Amino acid sequence: MSAGERHPLFKAAHYSAQLDKELSKFPILINLEQRTQVPKTYAVIGAILFVVFLHSFNAFAAPISNLVGWGLPAYLSFKAIETSSRHDGVQWLTYWVVFSFFNFLESFALRLVLHCVPWYFAFKSLFIVWLQLSSFRGAQVTYPLSREIPQQVARDDLDNQRITEEKCDPVAPKSQISPPPIREEGCSGISPEKKYYEFDQVFIKRSLAPSEYPFISLGNKRIPIVPHMCLERMKNEVAAIRYVQNNTNIPTPNIRCTFEDNGRFYIITDVVPGVTLAELPDDKKAGVIAEVEGYMAQMHAIKSKVMGGVSGDNVLPYRCFRDINGRSKLLNLKFRDADTPEFVLCHNDLSQYNVIVDEKTLRVKAILDWEYAGFYPPEFDGKFYLRRGPSVAIEGEENDVPKLMEVLDHWKA
């Protein structure tokens, strides 16, 4: 550590920045900062000093101590109800049991305690804070009967973290897979990777946080099903839509904004009215399919020497990663550049469900879901829009994944 870093002002600035980072987890403090223009760090430190000052007056000491005991814990307990994390629920349930137990004991001997222990309520407030802070785990330590619960949760968290880091993508019977995460108000759909929302003319797609991952139960173990490259694919979708909007006349959703918050990546777009191509009667699809093929020709006319996703990540077609034999070969795969531009812009997931059509005019309103888009050989862009179904080979169709794997092997760096 340099002399400058040892200076008290440097340390104060460092700790202030750390505190600000922790306080940024609470939306109420962020809103307060925006409304008052007072930094939340200063506001919290000022409030703490004010609370300490009030403890010097007997008339205020008891109510302030009780406010410390139930104010923030009540807020965080309500937040814990809305989250899928067991850890938060265990922590605050244990806290309330311990807090109530000590209040019960205090009611029998408060006068004696006040006579024998000066500044009792100040010590009580410090004790309450110790119970609350998860870094100290005071409530769990104080209440031995609850020790096994948080310890088991901690062991599960470590197992889940290890499995997450290994990018496990297990397959198990559906009966062993956890139910989908909780649906909030406005949530129109949930997949194993994302949640979807619609509010008036706004459509929101976001990735799941690690605490929301579905899991497989194997005995007393919970193994999370970790989405493969979900963040990279969502960022690639944003890059692809903007690239297509700047270089073609292919209709795509208008992106209002994108951002990352608390482990979730959000894409906010305008709602595209219409129906999917899959919903149209078969006798009305021919003209729409011809229009889609025209857009495909536009994409394939754009070429590059570099293979990979529009964002620069190697986001390969969904059907390649869905194939368990191909998936193991594709992790951390890098490609060499071509001598001449021969890789074309591909959508790589163009099924009938990703084409929105005006039901009256039978014109394409938008092509959706560009997360697998990138520059690849033309054969990568399967014509899945010709029939209903997913962007993979179905019964009676040839599985082209082995051929695609041969192409990837040819271009492997």
127 & 171 share domain:
no
pLDDT at 176 over 70: no
Tens digit of pLDDT for each residue in 348-407? 999 999 999 999 999 999 999 999 999 999 999 999 999 999 898 888 888 998 899 889
The answer to whether the beta carbons of residues 44 and 19 sit under 8 Å apart is yes
Cα(401)–Cα(245) distance, rounded to whole angstroms?
30
* CATH code of residue 341: 1.10.510
pLDDT at 166 over 70: no
Tens digit of pLDDT for each residue in 80-106? 666 544 455 566 677 777 777 777 766
Q: Starting at the edge strand that comes first in sequence, how are the strands of the sheet with 374-376 ordered?
A: 303-304, 343-346, 374-376, 308-309
332 & 378 share domain:
yes
This prediction's pTM: 0.57
Provide the domain count of the chain.
Answer: 3
297 & 406 share domain:
yes
- Residue span of the structural domain in which 184 resides: 167-224
Cα angle: 201, vertex 275, 183; to 5 degrees: 55
Say if 242 falls within a structural domain.
Answer: no
Say if 154 falls within a structural domain.
Answer: no
131 closest CA partner among 108, 168, 101: 101
323 & 358 share domain:
yes
Residue type, 270: D
Contacts of 335 (CB under 8 A, 6+ apart): 306, 307, 308, 314, 408, 411, 412, 413
197 & 301 share domain:
no
17 & 56 share domain:
yes
144 & 171 share domain:
no
34 & 109 share domain:
yes
Q: What's the rounded mean pLDDT across residues 220-240?
A: 88
Q: Could you tell me if residue 317 is left (phi over 0), alpha (psi between -120 and 50 degrees) or otherwise beta? A: beta
User: Which of the four pLDDT bands, split at 50, 70 and 90, describes residue 154?
Assistant: very low
Mean pLDDT value across the chain: 77
311 & 397 share domain:
yes
Say if 268 falls within a structural domain.
Answer: no
363 & 395 share domain:
yes
- Would you state the pLDDT for residue 56? 66
Could you say which of 186, 205, 224 is where a domain stops? 224
The answer to whether the beta carbons of residues 350 and 367 sit under 8 Å apart is yes
Tens digit of pLDDT for each residue in 24-67? 666 677 777 777 877 877 787 787 777 677 666 666 667 777 77
Residue that is written with structure tokens 């009305």 in the block: 284
Q: Starting at the edge strand that comes first in sequence, how are the strands of the sheet with 364-367 ordered?
A: 275-276, 355-357, 364-367
